[in-house]
Amino acid sequence: MKAIMTGSFDPITVGHMEIIKKACQFFDEFYVVALINSEKEYTFTLEEKKEIMKLALSDIPNIKVDAYDGLTVNYMHEHGIDKIIRGIRSTSDEEYEKKLANIMKSYDSSFETIFIRSHGEMKNVSSSLVKDKLSRGEDISALIPPMAYDKIMEFYESKKNK
């Protein structure tokens, strides 16, 4: 059985990791895919995010990391996936994610959205928080996967120095 978790992952955080680790144990293949949301401005390119995610998730055997510039539904059809995992941090997340789940169902009635809640300490962890701390020169090590720290810093420093 296959499932997917999509997001901007700009960059991947320990909050994302919590949801991924909870979900991947229930599937033979678990796809973690960075997508582009035209409403967001990104710090990292799709290829950089993919490289960071591969490092962060390297110790999980059934994970397939990818980056995709298209609609989630198309990716799911191309890879034979009918389950999508969505993380919930707050009530506002829940409302937004339920709307997305209904949209997914309208594209394909066989698609199933599975919601997983974050633990208390992870509710405030977001890519936006990581980028805010980075821009102020603050320590982000507690907010991102340790295996990806060096690569995130390398990519960020190369952009900052341009």
Dist. CA 8–CA 33, nearest whole Å: 8
pLDDT at residue number 3: 98
| Domain range annotation of the chain | 2-160
Question: Which of 115, 113, 108, 17 lies closest to 65, judged by CA?
Answer: 17
The answer regarding whether domain 2-160 maps to CATH 3.40.50.620 reads yes
Q: What is the mean pLDDT of residues 9-14?
A: 95
The model carries a pTM of: 0.92
Which pLDDT does position 162 carry in this prediction?
Answer: 64
pLDDT tens for residues 47-88?
999 999 999 999 999 999 999 999 999 999 999 999 999 998
Average pLDDT over residues 108-128: 87
Higher-pLDDT residue of 95, 64: 64
Percent of the chain with pLDDT over 90: 75
Average pLDDT over the chain, rounded to whole? 92
